[in-house]
Every structure is written in C-alpha cells, then in structure tokens.
Structure 1
Amino acid sequence: MYKERASRLPGAAVWTSTPSVPGDEGPGRVLPDGCMDLLWHDGRLLVAGPDTRAHAAGAASLWAGVRFHPGTAPALLGVPAHELRDRRVDLADLWPAAEVRRATARVHAADHPARGLEEVALALAASAAPPDPLLARLVTALDAGRPVAATADELGLGARQLHRRSLTAFGYGPKTLARVLRMRRALALARAGVPFAEAAARAGYADQPHLSREVRSLTGLALRQLVPPDTVS
C-alpha cells in the first residue's frame, strides 16, 4: 500500500510503500515525474535519480522516501542530477562515510523511517542555499504547457544555457522535462474521469493516439494500464 503526504519541506512529499496483503508485490512501476527521492530500505539510505522511463520498484517490503520538487534535490544532495539519471544509488557512494552514518542514525532514531528521512531533508535544506527561483519558474511554465523556446526567452536564457542548467537540475534537457510533465498532467486528468481524448487535448497533445504513444514511450505501458478501469469513460 502506497501512502503520501506533504512534507514540512516546501514542495516535497513524504511517502511509504508496503505490501498491503499477502502476495502483494509492492508499489509496482514508478513513473517518470521530474523528481529525485531520498530513500530508505532495509536499513540503507539511497538516492533515486530522475527517470526517463518507468522504474520497476523493489522487493515487497517497506520502502520510505522523500520526493523533492523538480530541480531542488541536486543542491541538497551535492550531486548533479544527470549523474543519477535512471539510477538508484547508495548514499554511501555519494557522500563521505561519516555523513552517511550521521544521516542513517538520524533516520533510525525516529519513530518511523519516513519521519527520519524528512528530518534529514529538512536539515539539508537548512544548510543549503535557497532554491534557484529561475528553476522554479521553469518548472511552473513547462507544467502549465508553455513551449520550451518561449519559456527560455521569458527567463532570459539561451538554448544552450537552458539545456546545461536543466541537465544539472533535472537530469535531462527541458524538452524531456516538458514531455514528462505533460504526461503527468494527462494521466491526472484521465484518473479523475476525464475521457482520454479530452485529457489529451487539455494536456496539449495533438490527439488521443499521440498521448498513447507518449505514455508507451515514457512508461512502457499502455494508457489503459495506468488508469483504474472504473475511471475510464
């Protein structure tokens, strides 16, 4: 069973995933969302990099995580996003051993790993520079369906500069980020009961087949596999 709540860290979410019934295989596939996560599993701390495709979740046991708002994790974790693209990496491979031990101890001292991870994330944010407001504006514009070129102009960035900053912050270029965010918008509409064709149009796709191709490309699954049957019109 997957549960999520808003974190005390602005823009972040705290989540847990556990098997809900005997034989449950856990959270299934994690879809691209433009985010990075700090994870706890089986006593270990890991970092989930930004995905360009669906990721098969781990074993059927407790997982906990803090999902950072797109573009914010690299400054907190001290690693460019593109170095972790489509990867799950032990925090011990990224940080000095002493820092990993302190973070792990903080998680284990909490009454639940998810709350411990949130405390680690809050401590990281308290010692880091404030989030880059330009990155926040970029995410907001692309999530609203603004074209990449027009957004770059509005932000006063050239194409190469925007691409370079996007690689560091998001793990991929702005066009890929725009694709991921558009797919998430369409899926949210479809899961809310909006017919597929209307969801495609409202999210900015040419038509329903275009949406279906993008979902298949980014997740490896058919659109209908990602929308509960009782919501499909």
Structure 2
Amino acid sequence: MHAPCAYQTRHAAGDALATHRHRTAYAALVLDGDYLEASADGPAECVPGSLILHPRFHAHGDRFGRRGARVINLDLPPGLAPETVTVLRVPALAEAAAVFARGAHELPALVAACAAQPPAPLHDWQRPFLDALRDGDAPIARLARDAGVSLAHASRSFLRSHGMPPQLLRRELRCRRALALLAGDAPLAEIAARSGFADQSHLTRALRGFAGLPPARLRRQIKSVQDGAAPGMRP
C-alpha cells in the first residue's frame, strides 16, 4: 500500500465553498492567502501557518479572502486520524510544508511542535444557544427568543459562523455524539436515546446521511480501527 501523498489546492479571491463533507480524515496546511472555515466546531480563521486537522466525516464550508488561498492537504491513515477538528500554528511554514511532502508518518512530530491557534470569537449569545441546541429538544424559535435574538438573525448568524442553520447544526451535533458512542458497546437503541434521536430508526436514517453507512457497519469500522491502528495524534 502506498503512503498518502500531499496535494495542493488553489482558490481564487472571494471564492466560497458551500458546506460539504469529507469522508476521510485529512490535514490541511495554509501556505498563503486566507479563508474562514465554518463548521459545527465554530469558525476557524485559516491563515499562512495554520494547520487544520480534520476527523472523518467532517463537514465544513469555506469563504476565501481577497488574496484567495493556497493549501497543501494530506489524507490521514486511520491511526493518525484526530478525534476532533484541531487548529494549530506551525513553528516554521517551510519546514511544515516539507513534512507534508514527505508523508503523514512525520505529522505527529510536527503536531507536537505546534501551538494551539486561538478560536475565532463568537457572539455572547451563541455559546449558551449551542449548549441548549445540543442537549435539548426545545424548538429553535424558543432558543432564539431565550437568547434575545430573532429566529432569522439566529439562522443567519449560525449559517455564517458554523456553515449551517440551527436545525441542521442540531442534527450534526447529535450524529457526532452517536459516532463517538459507537466506539463503545451500548445497544443501538440506547445510543439513539443518548444522542437525542427519537428511536433507532431515526438514528439509522441520520447516520446514513451523515456517513453513508448504517450504525452497525460504522461500529464495525470503528472497532476495526481501534483493534488494528497505531496510536493516533493527540494534539
């Protein structure tokens, strides 16, 4: 099996990519330009020297700045896939680009030398809104009212900062929770309840849309990685 190869992507000034999902884990290193990555993790300001580690099935949209951007990307084997998206700052851009060119096996050492990049700011009302969205079933309109904003304003704000409106964001967060629980041995009906889905059938439909596979097959994949993969990066 050949080691994953790095590849570059170029984006013109003012370009935008609608929210899309990557089924494989990958790392991205910004070489020049800038863009804003919006996902359920919140906005990430990506500038030269930003290293973004994405887990499998990560969904995000991108808005590119006035100079566009040039990015080097590297698909990650299962043993190096991060558990959550992580945004770091590399100590030396040229050296980091050379690591990408040599292959994923050198990434753990690069990650260990990086510093965490501060998260982009959110509006004060967004964090409690997100907590309520993730953990409860209250209607979106009520959450907006409790936050002191209109439903239209909440939808526009989350579409800009997180790449999706609140209803889709709730489903994304619940699918992520279910995916994490599939690493254990809980019955699927219990996972559905703990993740906020109405029942096991609802969970199955949501995960098919999220990952393209039903929960049982996803669990087998996760267990296979756990049993056979080398320790991954823990930034």
Q: TM-score, normalised to structure 1's length?
A: 0.56
Q: Tell me, yes or no, if structure 1 residue 55 matches structure 2 residue 22.
A: yes
Of the three residues 52, 70, 94, the one matched with 1:108 is 94
1:136-215 matches, within 5 Å, as 136-147=127-138, 148-215=140-207
Of the three residues 124, 130, 145, the one matched with 1:133 is 124
Specify whether residues 190 and 105 from structure 1 end up closer, same or farther in structure 2 by C-alpha distance, changes over 3 A only: closer
Structure with higher helix content: 1
Specify whether residues 94 and 212 from structure 1 end up closer, same or farther in structure 2 by C-alpha distance, changes over 3 A only: same
In 1, are the aligned partners of 2:133 and 2:170 still within 8 Å (CA)? yes
Distance in 2, Cα, partners of 1:161 & 1:230: 38
Distance in 2, Cα, partners of 1:192 & 1:48: 38
Structure with higher strand content: 2
In 2, are the aligned partners of 1:72 and 1:169 still within 8 Å (CA)? yes
SS at match of 1:72: strand
Q: Which deviations, in whole Å up to 9, do the C-alpha atoms of 1:31-90 show, x marking residues without a partner?
A: xxxxxxxxxx446688996745x43449xxx845699872222xx249xxxxxx86678x
Deviation at 1:194, TM superposition (A): 1.3
Cα RMSD of the aligned pairs, angstroms, is 4.5
SS at match of 2:182: helix
In 2, are the aligned partners of 1:70 and 1:139 still within 8 Å (CA)? no
SS at match of 1:194: coil
**1:55 maps to amino acid:** H
SS at match of 2:198: coil
**2:67 maps to amino acid:** P
Instruction: Name structure 2 gaps, 5 residues minimum.
Output: 31-36, 48-58, 72-88, 101-106, 224-235
Deviation at 1:210, TM superposition (A): 0.9
Of the three residues 96, 99, 122, the one matched with 2:67 is 96
Distance in 1, Cα, partners of 2:134 & 2:17: 20
Of the three residues 218, 221, 224, the one matched with 2:216 is 224
Specify whether residues 216 and 229 from structure 1 end up closer, same or farther in structure 2 by C-alpha distance, changes over 3 A only: closer
In 2, are the aligned partners of 1:200 and 1:211 still within 8 Å (CA)? yes
Q: Tell me, yes or no, if structure 1 residue 71 matches structure 2 residue 48.
A: no
Distance in 1, Cα, partners of 2:16 & 2:218: 21
Distance in 2, Cα, partners of 1:219 & 1:167: 21
Specify whether residues 145 and 191 from structure 1 end up closer, same or farther in structure 2 by C-alpha distance, changes over 3 A only: farther
In 2, are the aligned partners of 1:191 and 1:228 still within 8 Å (CA)? no
Deviation at 1:167, TM superposition (A): 1.1
1:6-85 matches, within 5 Å, as 22=1, 41-42=6-7, 51=19, 54-57=21-24, 63-64=27-28, 70-73=41-44, 76-77=45-46
Q: TM-score, normalised to structure 2's length?
A: 0.55
Deviation at 1:159, TM superposition (A): 0.9
SS at match of 1:133: coil
